[in-house]
Structure 1
Amino acid sequence: MYRRGLLALGCAAGLARPALAQSARARTLRVVPQADLANLDPIWTTAAVTLNHGYAIFDTLYALDDTLQPRPQMAAGHALSDDRRVWTIRLRPGLTFHDGEPVRARDCIASLLRWGKRDAYGQMLSRVTEKWEAVDDLTIRLALKKPFPLLLDALAKRANFPPFIMPERLALTEPTTQVTEMVGSGPYRFFKDEWSIGNRAAYARFDGYRPRDEASSFLAGGKRAHFDRVEWHTVPDASTASAALVRGEVDWLEQTMPDLNATFARSRDVRLEPIDNHGLLSFLRFNCQAAPFDNGRLRRAILGAIDQADYMQAVTGDAIRWQRCASMFPCGMPFSRELGSDLLSGPRDLGKVREAIRAAGYAGEKVVIMNPTDFPSIAPLGFVTADLLTRLGMKVDLQSMDWGTLVQRRASKAPVESGGWSIFHSWAGATTMMNPGLNDYVRGLGAGGYFGWHENATIEGLVERWVDAASDDERQQLVDAIQFEAWAAPPTIMLGQYYPTTALRSDLTGRLSTSMPLPWSIRRS
């Protein structure tokens, strides 16, 4: 049905007004996202598709450049007091929200206060904050109880609750309640009336956006929108999406399926590229507050059965590069060392693991694995885990659902008998989890943390010390200590690091190398 709809759209426009249809196509970027956009608020959910949607609409005070260093974005710059406890941030003049209202300091403060209730980095900042103050419409003053050396890194956080700026009237919404009116100051406006779950989303270039007068550099610099309109078309079937790209019915597949990459290689009109030079990490996430995985010994026992090759081959086949990574942080990143090698390497002895599971006290409780049917880079992971845990003698219930339902349901803390869950799988970009402030999957914040609600005061104390660390040697020691503590009773099991591909029409240039389909810089030649 989706394919017929695309063809009908193209034929009708072409027969009626060929020149106008061609012109409209040139000014519209049609993207097939990696999942359906079922939730709109990127401060309410960590779903990657909602994050990507957020970057089209919202902007941030600071942003990461190509070297992963924070640079002013909405901010013109800042000053820091001699005692390093007072930050004064000046906004760029002329910034405007999509509703026509100017961006003011109080909008930024309200947005950061909402973000600070939700985000792990933001919560650390909140604990040392004495006062936020809007000195005037363009000046923000932050007074701290003690220095917070990584403030700019926190304000430039790129994923899992980026500190997006929205109008004060929306930012006053509690972060546990979704904001559904999408008003930002970013390069594109969202068409709420065209949003159809399971079908599409649409955006229009915001003529009031003022890009920085400099070159684009990852998430920083001048965000120049070259398309009048961006459309996201949800196509769960990878073969249908791939065929639509080859025929020119869509312009860009955010992620490709490895077994279909040969199709693109045979087409002169399609270009295949690595999606992100730093890679993605697949992971298994436990519900640490509900039986049976509230038992840390049981989580540790299962490590002995995990073979990352089983998971990576299920996702990548033979067409995509991957590597084992026995670290709680992405391999290849500063301070990341493979301290879990002894646990994840060597022959997998399922007999010993069964004994360890019994010794840990597993009593036959049901293990509910939530698995998305419409997310090709995640769905195979659930089947691998379900098969493995069944062979280990656990009572497994693999429940299939769409990704939007999974994202909603993973927020439930109900027991499995009442709609709760035990395990889900996902992935994250390496740059979104490269240090303890960013890596929500290792943190121990409990009820205030990432889904699964792992609580570990030792880890949180080490993270606080890492923020204040005075040298790289001290930071390395603290990152190692965090890893050792996390491996003892893992809240998350890393399943391997891989380098998927994206595919786009050959006439598109300027795509930024990142796991997100950013709508700026890219243009049609």
Structure 2
Amino acid sequence: MSSLPRSIATLSVAALAASVVGHAAIAQQPKTLRVAMHADVRTLDPVWTTQTIASIHGNMVYDQLFNLDSSLTPQPQLVETWTVSDDKKTYVFTLREGTKFHDGTPIRSADAIASFRRWAARRNAGKLMLDFTDSITALDDRRFEWKLNAPYGLVIDTLAQVGSPYVMREKEAKTDPFQQITEVVGSGPFVFKRDEWVPGSKTVYAKFADYVPRKEPASGHAGGKVVKVDRVEFIWMPDPQTAQSALINGEIDYLESPQLDFLPMLEATPGVKLVTHPAQGTMGLIQLNHLHPPFNAIKARQAMYHIVNMPDYLDTVAADRKLQKVCYSYFGCDVPMETDAGSEVYKAPKDLKKAEQLFKEAGYKGEPITILHATDHQYINPATQVLIQQLRRASFLKLDVQAMDWGAVVARRAKKEPPAQGGWNIFITGTTVLGSSNPATNTWIGMGCEKANVGWPCNAEFEEVRKSWGLAQTADERKKIAVDLSRRIYEQVPFVPFAQWLNPVAYRADRISGVIPVPSVPPMWNIERK
């Protein structure tokens, strides 16, 4: 039997060694999920702002006490067990054992309490719950007691809502809620990689190796948050067409908010799948500044109902009629608290002469109305263009349109100075129908004056009625109060809703699996590469 020549044998051994090394290198490459979200991560504090992208970031790096499952039922997350007294005024919560922050320190009751208090200072649902709270006391490192002054029935619902209290270390949680935190040490399944963060380009998260997921299967935002990739990269693509092309060409794996005009193209692309959740939906908002003229006067705010024509927005941001809904409910449509009570003025034919009369009665004398126009946002940009067109038809209004990116809008909308000193009069934003679906969780209807959300509506009587909704014992009682609140909202006009629409998520089903459909704030756990 002849043997191979020595040179060939040597080459064969070398080739085999190179093959082994090559396979080992491939095996060592991190499994990376590349995602395009609807906006760039510019703010690292999900409490300081109501930005959805900040909530998505918060969802990656922080855990919560409770979360909603796929049926929107509250389930414990960091909480292991809890008890409620017979009079429904005392709750005792016990945290799961072995949970850690990203610096390795244990998650304690003191962290959970401080995190709730900071969150509650910026969210209507939290403020409402604090009104019914006598005390929150740490009994030990894993147990804390919550004493109420009345049998408030929304304790668990409040703690479980999307964007509910993100559990931070007590150190960060004691930061003034109106100031942004500067250090991100999370409690959730992903670690924020600050050294790889490039605002305007890329945000990177790595799997937290010491995260302890629950044992239940993943469901909605609840259950076991099992991370099945090594890294997640949020790639910022301000141009929607570029993002769509990137998904079609396989350059990204997941597209959170595809432009609705391109859905037929995505549906026809082999390997691409579109998914929605039954409760998914976005509500568009025209936010008015109640601190400065002209919208500090109620008649100027009411005049907007005679100018804004809702179908124009829908045909622009969601041209597919299957995805759009003309909805005059401030709590959203297709939800238990849906009501259009008080909407007659908004539904009526547009009347620019009536609008002009109301503006004059409000004291308007042709001062510039400053509109913040986010030109890089998938639906806010075209919606703002529609608003500008509608306001220009009201020729008596003088507009000061200031174009900027969405991050700049978010920073500027927090300013209370007059428009001429860097403030604003109007900007467009959006919120989830789920988050707006009842008076307690709807952040934007709050009229708590200085403590209200940006825009700062102010009406103490409304706030008292809103509190009563949380104490109502039956669904019929709550609905009756919701109808009353709707009439009051239409009178006070904290903002003007302009549309409700569905926006599916698109992903490469030929490359990844385990995508969890949710109404908003998409989770990145449970997803794995094929």
**3-state secondary structure, aligned to 1:432:** coil
Aligned to 2:241: 239
Q: Map residues 177-188 of structure 1 onto 2, 5 A cutoff.
A: 177-188=179-190
**Is the Cα contact below 8 Å between 2:133 and 2:149 reproduced in 1?**
yes
Structure 2 Cα separation of the partners of residues 23 and 429 of structure 1? 40
Deviation (angstroms), 1:128: 3.0
TM-aligned CA deviation for residue 299 of structure 1: 0.8
1:467-520, Cα deviation, whole Å (9 max, x unpaired): 111222211111111110010121111111101122211222222222323111
Aligned with 1:425: secondary structure? strand
Is 1:523 equivalent to 2:528 in the alignment?
A: yes
For 1:135 and 1:427, how far apart are their aligned partners in 2? 40
For the pair 1:60 / 2:88, whether they are aligned, the reply is no
Q: Which moved more, 1:262-271 or 1:299-308?
A: 262-271
Question: 1:492 matched to which residue of 2?
Answer: 495
The 3 A distance-change label for structure 1 pair 26 and 263 is farther
Gap regions ≥5 residues in structure 1: 1-16
Work out which of the two has the higher radius of gyration on C-alpha atoms and give 1 or 2: 2
Residue number in structure 2 paired with 1:208: 210
Partner of 1:371: 373
Is contact 1:320-1:500 (8 Å) kept? no
How far did 1:145 drift?
2.6
Query: 2:304–2:496: 8 Å Cα contact kept in structure 1?
Result: no
Paired residue for 1:413, among 402, 412, 416? 416
The CA deviation at 1:26 is: 7.6
Q: Is the 8 A contact 2:303 2:354 kept in 1?
A: no
- Counterparts of 1:271-290 in structure 2, within 5 Å, are 271-274=273-276, 277-290=279-292
- Looking at structure 1, the residues matched to 227 and 99 of structure 2 have their Cα atoms a distance apart, in angstroms, of 16
Query: What is the match of residue 462 of structure 2?
Result: 459
Query: CA separation in 1, counterparts of 2:339 and 2:22?
Result: 58
Matched, 1:165 2:167: yes
| Number of the residue aligned with 1:448 | 451
Superposition pairs of residues 35-434 of structure 1, within 5 angstroms: 35-159=39-163, 162-274=164-276, 277-318=279-320, 321-392=323-394, 393-434=396-437
Say if 2:330 and 2:436, in contact at 8 Å, map to a contact too. Answer: no
Structure 1: distance between partners of 2:75 and 2:275: 27
8 A contact 1:459–1:482 mirrored in 2: yes
Q: TM-score, normalised by structure 1?
A: 0.93
User: After superposition, what is the alpha-carbon deviation per residue over 1:210-237, rounded to whole angstroms, capped at 9, x for unaligned?
Assistant: 1111122211111111111100011111
Distance 2:467 2:118 in 1: 21
Give per-residue Cα distances to partners, 1:112-133, cap 9 Å, x unaligned.
Answer: 1222222222222223322222
1:358-411 per-residue CA deviation (whole Å, 9 max, x = no partner) reads: 344322121111011110211111111112112212111111101111101000
The residue type paired with residue 50 of structure 1 is A
Corresponding residue of 1:12: none
Q: Does 1:483 align with 2:468?
A: no
Q: How many Å separate the matches in 2 of 1:409 and 1:148?
A: 36
SS at match of 2:238: coil
Deviation by residue 1:427-462 (Cα, 9 ceiling, x = unmatched): 111111111111121111111111000011121011
CA-to-partner distance for each residue in 1:137-187, whole Å, 9 max, x for gaps? 11111122333221111111213xx21101111111111111121112211
C-alpha separation in 1, matches of 2:90 and 2:316: 51
Partner of 2:10: none
User: Are the structure 2 counterparts of residues 332 and 318 from structure 1 closer, same or farther at C-alpha, using a change threshold of 3 Å?
Assistant: closer
Aligned to 2:5: none
Matched AA of 2:522: P
For residues 232 and 329 of structure 2, the distance between their equivalents in structure 1, rounded to whole angstroms, comes to 38
3-state DSSP class of the match of 2:301?
helix
SS at match of 2:481: helix
1: CA distance between counterparts of 2:288 and 2:522? 29
Provide the rounded CA distance (Å) in 1 between the counterparts of 2:258 and 2:129: 38
Distance (whole Å) between structure 2 residues aligned to residue 504 and residue 18 of structure 1: 29
Q: Is the 8 A contact 2:294 2:363 kept in 1?
A: no
Q: 2: CA distance between counterparts of 1:116 and 1:339?
A: 29
**Rounded Cα–Cα distance in structure 2 between residues aligned with 1:105 and 1:420:** 39
- How far has the Cα of 1:275 moved from its partner? 6.5
8 Å contact from structure 1 (residues 326, 340) kept in 2: no
Which residue identity does 2:485 align to in structure 1? Answer: I
Unaligned runs of 5+ in 2: 1-20
**Contact preservation (8 Å) 1:446, 1:453:** yes
Distance 2:446 2:118 in 1: 20
Q: Structure 2 vs 1, CA of residues 22 and 348 (structure 1 numbering), >3 Å: closer, same or farther? A: farther
Corresponding residue SS for 2:336: coil
Distance 1:471 1:31 in 2: 43
SS of 1:370 mapped into structure 2: strand
2:365 counterpart SS class? coil
* Cα shift readout 1:295-332 (whole Å, capped 9, x = no counterpart): 11111122022211111111123476101001111100
Shift of 1:24: 7.1
Could you tell me how far apart the structure 1 residues matched to 2:392 and 2:434 are?
34
AA paired with 2:505? T
- Distance in 2 between the 1:347 and 1:460 partners? 31
- Matched positions, count: 507
Identify if the C-alpha distance between structure 1 residues 26 and 499 changes in structure 2 by more than 3 Å, giving closer, same or farther.
farther
With structure 2 as the length reference, what TM-score do the two structures score? Answer: 0.92
Q: Quick one: which amino acid aligns to residue 518 of structure 1?
A: P
Task: Indicate if the aligned counterparts of 1:73 and 1:212 stay in contact, CA closer than 8 A.
Answer: yes
Q: What is the CA–CA distance in structure 1 between the aligned matches of 2:228 and 2:89, rounded to whole Å? A: 41
2:476 is aligned to: 473
| Greater displacement, 411-420 / 69-78 | 69-78
Stretch deviating more after TM superposition (143-152 or 483-492): 143-152
What is the match of residue 4 of structure 1?
Answer: none
SS in 2 for 1:466: helix
The structural deviation recorded for 1:253 is 1.2
Equivalent AA in structure 2 for residue 31 of structure 1: V
8 A Cα contact 1:320 1:501, kept in partner: no
- In the alignment, what sits opposite 1:8? none
